[in-house]
Amino acid sequence: MPSLQIVEGADAARSSVLKRDPFGAPDLPEAVAKSIEELWGEPLSAADHVARILEAVAGEGDAAVTRLSQQFDRSSYEAIEVSTDEISEAFGLVPQEQIDAIEFAANRIRQYHREQLRHAPQSFSARGAGWSVKPLQRVGVYMTGSDAALPSSVIHTAVPGVVAGVDEVIGVTAAQADGTVNPVKLVAARFAGINRIFRASGAQAIAALAYGTDTIPAVDKIYGPGNLFVTLAKQQLFGRVGIDAIYGPTETLVIADETASIDLVAADLLAQAEHDRLATPVLITTSRAVAEAAAEQIETQLETLERGEIARAAVERGGAVVAADLGEAVTLANEFAPEHLCLLVADPEGLLPRIRNAGGVFLGESSPEVLGDYTAGPSHVMPTGGSARFASPLSVLDFLKVTSVVSFDEHELDRQGPYAATLARAEGLTAHARSIERRIEGR
């Protein structure tokens, strides 16, 4: 039986394939729950476990960060900060072909974000009021992944900040068993423009960035996806430190009509499915035949994947929807608000104006979402879980802040002042009113 379930009609889709579970802390695997109980001497929820970690880092600083990171990563090291020599040595450990690919991706993403910055808000002043736009001073990038290197994530998270003009971009990353950091990550960090890198992982790394320690400086804002504990730490620390967003498992929605190449439909769905068992690949098509053929092709391609078991589990979470027409397909896609939306239809450009909610839209068979993961240009750090209804992909805008500026002369004070004083008295705020009136009366 094919792994991809197929449903017909909007109502069936909304109640099954396109129905999301509410965001929350899922039940922990038995082994993870047991390790948490052993650590604290009592069973704890994921959120309570993270709260204990934050408390430990706030009180103990580097000692807690190192102890917890080494315990969870099963690593051993002396120095928390990665030295410049280690970063330089990484270039001798990574095949030149991979170095060239990382450099190409970093340059491509940097060029895109430089163009993006040209269209970002600019400082202005008009009739005595305006705003000043400046980059943040220091930010932290969570360099996700441990033994498995994810250099693309490092680049896609850090480069927008560097282009925006952030003074200092620091990275935190898990160490390998021998205490080293995966050299591919270090190469990516160098090309991305990260200034300093520290060995710290999970919730304790997020806490270190928020509170600061003797070794790891506190930052203004934290960026980058991570596991459940990283996500919960970002939630719990928001307000003390800025965060970019709350990221859940990846998701891709493909809209395909009768003209679509079935093997590419299947390939695009599986490209996201292999990320994570909790990933959500969804197909919406105007043809039952396309849905059935895609389901069969997915089974064929699953047999060729190294992560086929993971991909199969994700495919079973997703599904295919047979819509009445492209109009209904777009309506359902906008309701679902996917992280990635691929348009494998005869006229993708014609469909684009009707797309309202998506992290990224990929038009036609020559623009696969996988290019977006690596070299297309826009950051692949995108809103998940339906948050594309109100959120945007990571961009230079996330590294800028606006300060309102007011600079009036006496004439403008005389013109506006009486109105402002009247409003202040209407609110019962006499001191507010007198702050204006004293200025006018004193001349």
Catalytic residue at 339? yes
Secondary structure class of 242 (helix, strand, coil):
strand
- Which of 234, 109, 124 is closest to 164 using CA atoms? 109
Catalytic residue among 113, 339, 369, 380: 339
Phi and psi at 361, nearest 5°, equal: -115, 135
Distance (Å, whole) CA 121 – CA 133: 7
User: What is the token pair recorded at 84?
Assistant: 């410049």
Catalytic residue among 113, 340, 369, 380: 340
User: Looking up tokens 């000043």, which residue turns up?
Assistant: 132
Phi and psi at 241, nearest 5°, equal: -140, 150
User: What is the token pair recorded at 119?
Assistant: 């269209």
User: Looking up tokens 């001191």, which residue turns up?
Assistant: 431
Catalytic residue at 156? no
Q: Per this entry, what is the length of the chain?
A: 443
Q: Are 342 and 369 in contact (CB under 8 A)?
A: yes
Distance (Å, whole) CA 206 – CA 139: 12
User: In the sheet where 221-223 sits, what is the strand order?
Assistant: 196-199, 168-173, 138-143, 221-223, 242-243
User: What is the token pair recorded at 111?
Assistant: 């060029």
Q: Are strands 129-135 and 196-199 parallel, antiparallel or unpaired?
A: unpaired
Active site residues: 339-340
